[in-house]
């Protein structure tokens, strides 16, 4: 079974709205990362949050991590059509293994 | 200029054929990985290598083999392809061995179809 599971599986919003994606995981982690994938392309790293951090920002991205609930959320503010992509959380387990979830498909309508 | 290059981009083959997917990188990273992506399942790790002489199985290594010919090259082979190996395959690199976190850099992928 997946270490990381994203929710929702798919999300459709209007341009300008905020998009929130959630990730839950099962075991203790070293850090949690979010990646983006445009259709059929390779994944691109977006942001990393360490297990001792609770919130991190990068441009329009805001990531939170709650280790007590084993969950993370990715917020994209003021979304644009170009944000349309799949978003994956990946948990780095101790020993440097990175395990990916199944992803959230985000569609931003203009 | 791609830092992680995969060849071919697309490949159609028949059941039972031997296939090799190649990956090369110019990032100077020690660690290299092969993942496969299936719809709805995310990415699953096939094999990984932390150094030229280091090969490790991932969660779904059966039916696959790898060769790390040099720091910059990591190839994936399907000895006898079967239809359920139809998937999008990604090579990735990381510099985590140099004291950094395990942030991955991906190639553009190889879409493999086994008929």
- At A38-67, the pLDDT tens digits run 987 899 999 999 999 999 999 999 999 999
Q: Is the pLDDT of residue B1 over 60?
A: no
Residue pair A44/A33 in contact (Cβ under 8 Å)? The answer is no
Compute the average pLDDT of residues B15-41. 94
**Residue A39, class by beta-carbon neighbours within 10 Å (0-12 exposed, 13-18 middle, 19+ buried)?**
exposed
Q: What is the mean pLDDT of chain B?
A: 92
Bridge partners of A36, per DSSP, are A44, A87
Residue among B8, B5, B45 nearest B27 (CA): B5
**Does residue A2 have a pLDDT over 60?**
no
Q: Which residues of A touch B106 (CB under 8 A)?
A: 42-44
User: How much is the pLDDT for B75?
Assistant: 98
Mutant choice from B7, B103, B111 vs A, greatest count of A C-beta within 10 A: B103
| Interchain pair A102, B41: CB under 8 A | yes
List beta partners, residue B4: B25
Most B-contacting residue of A5, A40, A42 (CB-CB within 10 A), to test interface:
A42
What is the per-residue pLDDT for A99?
Answer: 87
Rounded Cα gap, residues A63 and B15, in angstroms = 44
Q: How far apart are CA A106 and CA A13, in angstroms?
A: 8
Question: Chain A: nearest CA to B67, how far in angstroms?
Answer: 20
Chain A / chain B CB contacts < 8 angstroms:
55
Amino acid B22: pLDDT: 98
Model pLDDT, residue A1: 44
For the record, the structure tokens of A102 come out as 């199944």
Cis omega before residue A8 (within 30°)? yes
Supply the DSSP symbol for B1: -
Distance CA A88, CA A104 (A): 7
Q: Answer yes or no: do A92 and B102 touch at CB < 8 A.
A: yes
What pLDDT is recorded for position B113?
97
């Amino acid at each position: 079974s997946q270490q990381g599971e994203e929710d929702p599986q798919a999300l459709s919003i209007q341009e300008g709205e905020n998009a929130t994606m959630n990730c839950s995981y099962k075991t203790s982690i070293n850090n949690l990362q979010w990646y983006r994938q445009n259709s059929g392309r390779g994944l691109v790293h977006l942001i990393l949050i360490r297990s001792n951090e609770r919130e991190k920002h990068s441009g329009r991205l805001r990531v939170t991590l709650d280790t007590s609930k084993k969950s993370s959320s990715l917020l994209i503010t003021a979304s644009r059509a170009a944000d349309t992509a799949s978003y994956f959380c990946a948990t780095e387990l101790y020993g440097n293994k990175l395990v990916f979830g199944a992803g959230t498909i985000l569609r931003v309508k203009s | 200029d791609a830092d992680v290059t995969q060849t071919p981009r697309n490949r159609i083959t028949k059941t039972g054929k031997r296939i090799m997917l190649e990956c090369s990188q110019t990032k100077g990273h020690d660690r290299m990985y092969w993942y496969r992506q299936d719809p709805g399942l995310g990415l699953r790790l096939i094999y990984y290598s932390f150094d030229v002489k280091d090969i490790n199985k991932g969660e779904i290594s059966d039916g696959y083999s790898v060769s790390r010919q040099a720091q910059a090259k990591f190839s994936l082979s399907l000895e006898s392809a079967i239809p359920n190996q139809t998937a999008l395959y990604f090579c990735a690199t990381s510099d985590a061995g140099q004291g950094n976190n395990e942030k991955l850099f991906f190639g553009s992928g190889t879409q493999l179809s086994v008929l």
